[in-house]
Structures are given as C-alpha cells and as structure tokens.
Amino acid sequence: MAVTHAHFLPDLELIGDGDEIDAISDVELAFGIELDCTDADEWVTVGGVYDSLRAALREDQRDAPDLWPRFAKAIGFESGVDPDRIVPATKLLAPLRAGRYSRLILFSAVATGLAAIIYLLRH
C-alpha cells in the first residue's frame, strides 16, 4: 500500500539521546551488516541510512523486493512507529518540542539541584 503525503511520518520520534544509535544498530542487526559510519553525516533522513544500507549489501541483495519493508521495520523498531508510514524523507530525529522534553528538563534540573545540595553538605 502506498503511503500518501498526509500519512507519512515526518520523523521517527527519536530524540537524540542515543536512541538514534540503537535504531541504526537495529538495521545492522536485521541485515547482518555494519554500516559505514563515515556516511553518518548524510543520515538526516531515513533515506540516507537506506542508501548506506544498500551500499553495504551484496549487489544481488540491493534490489530485493522486501528490502524497504524489512528496513522500515528495523529502523522504526526503537521508537515503535508504524513502519508502513516511513518514507525516505522521514527524518531520523524529531524536532525539539517543549512538551516532549519537559520531563527530561525537569529531571535534569532536579538532579542538578540534588548534586549541588550534596556538594554543599559535604564541603
């Protein structure tokens, strides 16, 4: 089934805390290959990772009819997104959104505050 423009995922909902590395590792594991990390600066979109995957595969595997569906399932596994909605233009990382990070920011502030209190108590 073709994905219409209105239904494709704009991003994989990865936030850049290492989850993008896990997503890349899921692709490597699914295909039994190691991607060339020198290409990482081109991995802004899923299509960039897919191009690197195709380059890492044997020539006879690059045009397999199930290659994209298998890839989409692997790259989307970490975030749990619907692989049928992933297209080459889907970005790896989600844009910063205040609501999405509010808990992380609050946790960081609390941890920093606790560290400061412990430091002051010990000195």
Cα–Cα dist 37/41, whole Å: 8
56 within 8 A of 34, measured Cβ to Cβ:
yes
Q: What is the pLDDT of residue 1?
A: 41
Q: What residue ranges of the chain have pLDDT lower than 70?
A: 1-6, 96-119, 123
Cα–Cα dist 47/27, whole Å: 13
Q: What is the pLDDT of residue 37?
A: 84
Q: What is the pLDDT of residues 30-45, one digit of tens each?
A: 999 999 888 888 899 9
Q: What is the pLDDT of residues 104-120, one digit of tens each?
A: 555 565 666 666 666 67
